[in-house]
Amino acid sequence: MNMIHFQLHDFHGGIHPDENKLQSTQQEIRKANIPKELILPIAQHIGKKAKPIVNVGDSVLKGQVIAEADGFVSANLHAPTSGTIKAIEERVIAHPSGMGDLCIIIETDGKDTWIEHKGLDNPLETDRDTLIDIIQQSGITGLGGASFPTHVKTCVPEERIDTLILNAAECEPYITADDMLMRSYADGLVKGIELLFHLYQPEKCLIGIEDNKPEAIEALQKALDATTDDTHKIHVVTIPTKYPSGGEKQLIQILTGKEVPANGLPADIGVACQNVGTAYAIYEAIYLGKPLIKRITTVTGEAANNKANFETLLGTPVHHLLEQGETDFDKVHRLIMGGPMMGFTLQTDEVPVVKSTNCIIASTANELPDPAMEQPCIRCGMCTEACPAQLLPQQLYWFSKSSNLEQAEQHNIADCIECGACAYVCPSNIPLVQYYRHTKGEIKQAQADKIKSDRAKERFEARLARQEREKAEKEAKRKARAEAAAKKQAEKAAAAPKGDSPAATTNDTAAELEKLQKKLEASKAAIAKSKEKLEAAKAEGSDKVEAFEKALTKSQDKMKDLAKQIAELKKAQKSQGAASSTGADKGDPNSPERLKQKLETAKVRLATAEKRLAEAQADTEQADKVDALKIALDKQKERVLEAEANYESGLEKQPASTQIKDTAPAADRDALEKKVLAAQTRVDKAQERLNMAIEQNLDTVDALRTGLEKQQAKLEEARKALEETPA
């Protein structure tokens, strides 16, 4: 087929560095030997890392999935050869920073045994979704450098794409991987292009290739003439040699005259762009059933004595590949992965070859000397003239140096393709690309931090709203309960006769007594069970004997305490019966008899509270209850004092004849002693409150002082009464 001549366009800027491609194209593609160990990073693509699905010690076959894609923008990872999973650990990976990442280490067995695999018989008659699924399962990513998952790029709706572009420019110096691929595997490559044409259904397909690759151009033309059914739609287009014509946006502009908008995608202007290496990987996946486990990598540089392109298994250590190129390691000054313009220096040759590794340069000191010392910018503007993205490199440099991320974003630093043209022409030797990469990383981190902060803010605000809502609901429920309780109390008060009968108090005491009796029975049952467990443990020689003995002792102490409480309640019940039999003040809730009954009940409850506190303090498992029990005990003490005071007050209010009749001299003296004690307690508390008010200069000082004087008068009155009472 004759090559079609299209009207070509030019892009702004660009440079013409020394090509240095001839050295690695003097021999056919060679197959690199299988290394003893393969190092496979789980992140060899843009997007989320793959998730390992194998374990250390597992045997794997060539082509077997060892890590699954984690989401849509991710890619599977396959075993490049058969062997055993030696480790899953962090290793140094191919990265400008020399950072490490999680890698799957395969100890190869040398057998290179394939897993069962088979391609499609009629791929061009297969539906689009099936083909995209095969591409996804095969772990294919862009082999031109970006390593973007290919299945994502092929999911563009058919009607959006009118032009399919195959990037065969390979404009960067030293790299010849795509050139040799087109020369050696043109037939398979054309079949891969046909598959892409079938997936996108464009109006035309353009294979853009620089005019410095005549052998590759001829091979492609012959393959197209021999195999394709769409010769009138697939065209080889030769473009002038200029760096960086292989950039995606630049190649699109050269072939179509269209410009991809800032922060936009080629699909926005109806174009899809794929690398020729990616097209060949698609051919192998669909026609042969082989996943992406190898790639062609150029080994070049003056320190490499056998410069060539090698078909290399992914995960092959760079050191092993350099040995295939007969590298003189003593002469290696800088080891570069990628090209001299967009590549980066490796800190070690133990890093692995990954899906995007298209070249390894073993350079000498004369070939690629260390960068000269950076000098101040002289504002010559040469960087602006060279920039193919029509940016303002000088301004971006100032913004990057001052960490002015906002201005850098506004000046479209994201559109920088990091081609290095600006740094190449800079007379001040400023490493501009390094500044831009750092700033891009800072912007990306700032955006991630903002997203994280916004999410945290949303969660915090949602939590506050939920707490406010719950608080309002609780308050509404509390008010409803209070209103219901008040209503119920009012109904009881309206229904009950005036004045409580002594029988009501007697019933309360009886109910309390019945409750304690039930607890006593339960305690006896618990003691019986504890004894059975203890005897069984002793018979078995168990190490739990001591624990069972402690439990038994605790249950026995509890039973004794319950028995004591029952005895006191029975005594109080008898007093209530005697009082009710006299018939005195039966309807008066403030009669001395009723008040005395309340005092006895309060004392019983005080004893119970003291017992519970003592048990909690002795038992470490109940340590969290101690504070609550102390508060309850203090409240109960206050109730006892209040009951005593009420009882004494009731005695004072009785008629003299009743006091004489109801109190024997001994009982009188006991009551008066308690009255003196209660009066003294009230005086002490009143004095304490007065002192506190004086210290804090409160307005209640006068009122508290008057109250103290009244309490002191009552105390004196009680003491006199006690002195006058015979012993």
* Residue 380 in marked binding region: yes
- Round the average pLDDT of the chain to a whole number and report it: 86
Q: Is 171 annotated as a binding residue?
A: no
Whether 10 is in a domain gets the answer no
- State mean pLDDT over 309-313: 97
Range with lowest mean pLDDT among 155-159, 346-350, 400-404: 155-159
Average pLDDT on 505-515 reads 70
Q: What is the mean pLDDT of residues 95-108?
A: 91
Give the pair of three-digit tokens for residue 627: 């504070």
Whether residue 13 is contained in a domain is answered as no
Q: Which of 139-148, 171-180, 561-570 has the highest mean pLDDT?
A: 171-180
417-463 pLDDT, tens digit each: 999 999 999 999 999 999 999 999 999 999 999 999 999 999 999 99
The 10s digit of each residue's pLDDT in 234-292 is 999 999 999 999 999 999 999 999 999 888 889 999 999 999 999 999 999 999 999 99
CA distance 419 to 343: 9
Stretch among 179-188, 407-416, 517-526 having the lowest mean pLDDT:
517-526
Domain assignment of residue 8, yes or no: no
User: Domain ends where: 622, 653, 684?
Assistant: 653
Q: Looking at the structure, do residues 646 and 667 belong to the same domain, yes or no?
A: no
Clarify whether residues 73 and 212 are in a common domain. yes
> Within a domain: residue 581?
yes
- Per the annotation, does 383 bind a ligand? yes
The secondary structure of 124-155 as a DSSP string is GGS-HHHHHHHHHHTT-B-TTTT--BHHHHTT
Of 333, 363, 393, the residue at which a domain comes to its end is: 363
Over the stretch 176-224, which tens digit does the pLDDT of each residue have?
999 999 999 999 999 999 999 999 999 999 999 999 999 999 999 999 9
103 has binding-site annotation: no
Residue 416 known to bind ligand: yes
205 assigned ligand-binding residue: no
Work out the pLDDT band at 655, boundaries 50, 70, 90.
low
Are 270 and 345 part of one and the same domain? yes
CB 48, CB 98: distance < 8 Å: no
**Residue 65 pairs with which residues in a beta bridge?**
78
Question: Which of 123-137, 182-196, 585-599 shows the lowest mean pLDDT across its residues?
Answer: 585-599
* 601 and 709 in a common domain: no
Contacts by 665-668, CB closer than 8 A, 24 or more apart: 665/725, 665/726, 668/725
Residue 654: band (very low, low, confident or very high) from pLDDT cuts 50, 70, 90: low
**Between vectors from CA 298 to CA 297 and to CA 302, what angle results, nearest 5°?**
150
Same domain for 276 and 293? yes
Quick one: 56 and 28 in the same domain?
yes
Instruction: Count how many domains the chain has.
Output: 4
Structure tokens at 138: 């095969």
Single pTM value for the model = 0.65
- The answer to whether residue 252 sits within a structural domain is yes
Q: Is residue 422 a known part of a binding site?
A: yes
pLDDT band per the 50, 70, 90 thresholds, residue 58: very high
- Domain-embedded: residue 15: no
Please report which confidence band the pLDDT of residue 622 belongs to, taking 50, 70 and 90 as the band edges.
confident
Residue 673 pLDDT exceeds 60:
yes
For the segment 361-386, the average pLDDT, to the nearest whole number, is 94
**What are 338-361's pLDDT values in tens digits?**
999 999 999 999 999 999 999 999
Domain span at residue 403 reads 383-493
Distance CA 327, CA 309 (A): 14
690/663 Cα distance (integer angstroms) = 36
Q: Look at residue 483 and tell me whether its pLDDT is greater than 90.
A: no
Amino acid 663: pLDDT = 43
